[in-house]
A and B are shown apart, each in its own frame.
Chain A
């Protein structure tokens, strides 16, 4: 490796990492938090078989899972201005990632809810609890433990998917890298470098997942 390349890589490391810390991670954390709320509600209305909402939930999941994430980003960011709705890049990305991830996580949580034995509900009824009390205190906590590993999976996938936001001018890690490549003409080394930083982020999350699983395995 030439000295110039070494210098570019060292120099660019923080130029990529900083947008990672100030953009990629906030984008991921905010989007995933919204996604979890959307997913929990969407899963619960299906689990509880709430009439109209259940059909709405199925429709939402069908549309979101059946269309590319990149297309969804384009529709919101480049499409909606045609209707006079202008959204800044970052909030647009948050909206799309939340809705997209919410659909996938909803299916994870629904499956986890359905894996809780019906006897847990029946026992709740027998001690006089209402349906909502049983869901909140018995079924949902157990389901969340089951859902934790696949949800961690989704979170790790989302970290990497945020790179798509570079397509709607969000200055996240990939976009930062592209800019350096345009200046230095070292695509191979720089794209590998940004890949390694994503790998670093994912590794930290994998470790956190293991800690979380241990915490949750008290019962």
Chain B
């Protein structure tokens, strides 16, 4: 098991967002996390690389055990070095060009020589089809293009796992396609991915496993096929009925 989370809990004030969530991700897995808004999907993802500090729970990652609440700064830095995060709102550095967005972490955080960083960045940009836009600033790119650069930034870090937080939710349908195509390619290249998404087509056709969350707990989890064809829980069946229209995407 590459990533394992046990009893993850998180509250914002009185609001319990995560009430003891378990999760397992194998190397090469593409895990889709589904669920209605407010179910805690995004918070869970953000706890994995400490953008949110969990109230409790533990994580096994890459053969090491970490306390999600008490992890030391050094451990957090190590975990972040082996993970990458793709945001719903892209969060490209606005004062950096596409290629600078990709090289920034390599040069500044990893102390990589500039030339080597640029070679890696160009390969990553080529993988997402953005090499010809290397010197564009984020404001000069469409949402879909920005998200592809963000994915290139994630790839350049050579992570064990990429965490995606609703990567297409801010995009209009036409631009969603180009981002999903890149993600599909990564999946078939064997990249381990944990994807919070509302894209049922992606969950059904690309992901290997699905986790369905509601009200801060995992309602059902299983292989993508079992989840969509033989859901066990009544709540999951209702969810699949409601979204079945968009599943052929």
* A residues at B contact (CB < 8 Å): 117, 119-120, 122-130, 133, 137-138, 141-142, 145, 218-219
**Are B104's CB and A119's CB within 8 A?**
no
Chain A residues with CB under 8 Å of B93's CB are 120, 123-124, 138
Chain B residue at minimal CB-CB distance from A122: B51
Q: Is the CB of A126 within 8 A of B80?
A: yes
Contacts of A129 in B (CB 8 A): 104-105, 108-109
Tell me the complex Cα distance, A138–B96, Å.
Answer: 8
| CA–CA, A155 and B105, complex, Å | 36
- Closest-by-CB residue of B relative to A133 is B108
> In the bound complex, how far is the Cα of B20 from the Cα of A70, in angstroms?
63
CB nearest neighbor in B for A141: B95
A117 / chain B contacts, CB cutoff of 8 Å: 89, 91
Expressed in whole angstroms, the Cα–Cα distance for A123 and B91 within the complex equals 6
Contact of B81 with A by CB under 8 A: yes
A112 to chain B, nearest CB (A): 13
Tell whether, in the assembled complex, residue A127 and residue B94 are in contact, meaning their CB atoms are under 8 Å apart: no
In the complex, the answer to whether A142 meets B95 with C-beta atoms within 8 Å is yes
In the A-B complex, the 10 residue pairs with the smallest Cβ-Cβ separation, listed nearest first, are: A127-B105, A128-B109, A119-B91, A123-B91, A219-B137, A126-B85, A129-B109, A141-B95, A128-B81, A142-B95
Contact with A along B71-110 (1 / 0, CB 8 A): 0000001001101110101011111110000001100111
Alpha-carbon distance A218/B96, docked complex (angstroms): 10
A215–B197 CA distance with the chains assembled, in angstroms: 40
Q: How far is the CA of A141 from the CA of B153 in the complex (A)?
A: 20
Interchain nearest-CB distance for A118 vs B (Å): 9
B142 in the interface (beta carbon within 8 A): no
Docked-complex contact A119 and B110, CB < 8 angstroms: no
20 A-B residue contacts at CB 8 Å?
A: A117-B89, A120-B91, A122-B85, A123-B85, A123-B87, A124-B93, A126-B51, A126-B85, A127-B104, A127-B109, A128-B110, A128-B157, A129-B105, A133-B109, A137-B108, A138-B93, A142-B94, A142-B95, A219-B94, A219-B97
* Structural contact, A128 and B51, CB atoms closer than 8 A: no
Contact B49 A126 (CB under 8 A): yes
Contact of B95 among A126, A127, A130, A138 (CB under 8 A): A138
The contact of A125 among B51, B108, B153, by CB within 8 Å, is B51
B123 to chain A, nearest CB (A): 17
B139 within 8 A of A: yes
1/0 per residue, CB under 8 A from A, across B132-156: the answer is 0000011100000000000001000
A133 contacts which chain B residues (CB < 8 A)? 108-109
Q: What distance in Å separates the Cβ of A124 from its nearest Cβ neighbour in chain B?
A: 8
Contacts A122-B51, A125-B80 known; A218 to B137 CB distance under 8 Å? yes
Choose among A125, A145, A219 the residue that contacts B138 (Cβ–Cβ < 8 A): A219
